[in-house]
Structure 1
């Protein structure tokens, strides 16, 4: 019996695309006619989309990396580092077309081993892309749309005397949601050793009044690369020293978002301020032992059980490390410290006009 060719295998896989994505990307989720996850590594997220229905079922695209293809290409990308020949052998077995089927447990073991190797390769590629994107942007944000965007959020960096080196402006960063490049604010996410591991992107758009705002997107903020345990080093505080050179007994403010962190730095320039990128990542941050006191500038998400649990988990983690932990939270439910800063600015402007 003649073995099916690549096109036939791709078609057969597409006809069973739903069980296929459950097999290959179990941590993904369905959104309408698509299966979504972070990347071919299979982590939770939105960047990778696989079509589940219609004439294009089985077709996929990783909007952050630009990789795309049919269902057979998906198998190759996830399990075999892009090797279609190995993917064809796997597909024949998975579809039950091979005369000597691999037992399910053995097949899973092979897939797990291949997936682990692919995850490592994929992360290396993403990290390289993040660094390439970062280094392609000019240093300094003075006079750029980033400075204008932050000023529109009540953050005038000119008042701080210097600008965070962790922020840059890029005039054209690819946005998968609209399939074209857009201007963006970039933020470097660094590991404990100070090396950049990922880039945070905030896509921007010009406003009718001449200012700049977040782009009108479903997801105007995304991270390129894995950032677990890393952070954006927004402000060095009074010492002016790098995080690794933090002085014994030093305190630090941790914020979830960039705008919140910069608002705190503007109000308390003597404090070191770090951005954890996400609430779930705060408790994973690897900080020097010299930092003995932590203030978490938390958003007021008291009505969100998930957020509350993540905040509690971060506090417990730091307390178990022997650090003093305080939580500073705005009074208004659903608000953050950037909202507070903007309200204060609005009141000052009103008093000035009066």
Structure 2
């Protein structure tokens, strides 16, 4: 047993060195989203309730958490993940499985192995994102401004958002490139460095497609506000709907439920407000972030939209009930 325990520590470190390969092999239904691999659960189901860290400090790479409500709360390193994923009953079995993977036998080789050019590829993705941002223009007088206004949102002061009149995207159904007007959002880290751009193609006030360009890592879309409080949520429209509701609060969009769930709240804020999307992934992500904040001693509140249909968010509330009704309901949930 001592031999197995000693090997386990070394194997977990070696697995972390190949974290994305492990995810592609054992969690093929997932996808990479910035610094994380997002999937439904540790067994590999489709969805967004489980995340594995692919980047960051050496002691953080490979750490994962499965917040799927059906499974409870599971977490650990990549050796633990393999054990859960394969339904193995002992550490010795997990070690044997991992050693087989690390030895590279054909059944365990990932479909897309990491290459020596990954660093250069990452740099190119970021440069392309910066180039698209530079070629986009301010919102005033554009179709993007009209899109936001049609959804009840005031575009004034949203400096992280721009407009591109003819941004390209790939139409999976037609299997060809298309282009059209798009809302372009800058995704920046805490130091203000651009990591990616998030693109929303639209027609009138309807969304056609959303896609990320670049590597968002721990970046966010800053949507205004100042002060010691922080309000976070998934979508740009969701978070923007709550601008002006709270004083002394800055607003940030994380863009997906998986990225919201993986968000680590800073410990220097005086409260955390979490705008919830009404779907299972949204509730799980919000509760996970709330638990993290409270573990730091930060007061945290989940804000749930009044609209009761599946997938509802605060932009639905804003367009249905207006700003004053929405703001009043949200303030009550935050204890004001």
Q: Same fold (TM over 0.5)?
A: yes
Band of TM-score, shorter chain: 0.5 to 0.7
> Cα distance, 1:189 vs. partner?
0.8
Residues 263 and 289 in structure 2, CA contact (< 8 A), matched pair in contact too: no
CA contact (8 A) 2:265 2:289 kept: no
Query: Matched residues in 2 for 1:104 and 1:322: separation?
Result: 40
> Are residues 174 and 271 of structure 1, via their aligned partners in 2, closer, same or farther at CA, if it must alter by over 3 Å?
same
Partner SS, residue 280 of structure 1? helix
Q: Which has the larger radius of gyration?
A: 1
TM-score (norm 2): 0.60
Alignment correspondent of 2:301: 326
Which of 172, 189, 192 lines up with 1:191 in the alignment? 189
| Cα drift, residue 347 of structure 1 | 11
Provide closer, same or farther for how the CA distance between residues 314 and 215 of structure 1 changes in structure 2, counting only shifts above 3 A. closer
The alpha carbon displacement at 1:268 in A equals 3.8
1:174 equivalent in structure 2: 168
Q: Determine whether 1:229 maps to 2:218.
A: yes
TM (norm. structure 1) is: 0.57
The 5 Å alignment of 1:226-265 reads 226-237=215-226, 250-265=228-243
Deviation at 1:166, TM superposition (A): 0.2
* Unaligned residue ranges in structure 2 (runs of 5+): 1-20, 40-100, 326-336
CA distance in 1, matches of 2:239, 2:253: 6
Partner residue in 1 for 2:143 = 145
Secondary structure at the aligned position of 1:187 is classed as: strand
State the Cα distance separating 1:228 from its structure 2 match: 3.4
Provide the aligned length of Structure 1 versus Structure 2: 235
In structure 2, the partner of 1:77 is: none
Determine which structure has greater relative contact order: mean sequence separation of CA pairs < 8 Å that are 6+ residues apart, divided by chain length. Answer: 2
Work out the CA distance in 2 between the residues paired with 1:298 and 1:332. 11
Distance 2:194 2:264 in 1: 14
Contact preservation (8 Å) 2:265, 2:292: no
Partner of 1:141, secondary structure, is coil
**Which residue number in structure 2 is paired with residue 271 of structure 1?**
249
For 1:275-294, what aligned pairs fall within 5 Å after superposition? 275-285=253-263, 288-294=266-272
Runs (5+) with no aligned partner, structure 1: 1-21, 30-35, 46-102, 206-211, 240-249, 349-354
Describe the superposition over 1:35-54 as per-residue Cα deviations: whole angstroms up to 9, x where unpaired.
x9669x99669xxxxxxxxx
Q: CA deviation at 1:215?
A: 4.6
Moved >4 Å (runs of 4+): 22-25, 36-39, 41-45, 106-114
SS in 2 for 1:294: strand
2:205 is equivalent to residue 213 of structure 1: yes
TM alignment of 1:1-354, pairs within 5 A: 26=25, 27-29=27-29, 105-106=103-104, 115=114, 117-138=116-137, 140-157=138-155, 162-177=156-171, 179-205=177-203, 212-216=204-208, 220-237=209-226, 250-268=228-246, 270-285=248-263, 288-301=266-279, 304=280, 306-333=281-308, 334=310, 335-345=312-322
1:231·1:285 contact (CA, 8 Å) conserved in 2?
Answer: no
The CA deviation at 1:24 is: 11
Q: Per the alignment, in what secondary structure is the counterpart of residue 270 of structure 2?
A: strand
| CA distance in structure 2 between the aligned counterparts of 1:232 and 1:325, rounded to whole angstroms | 20
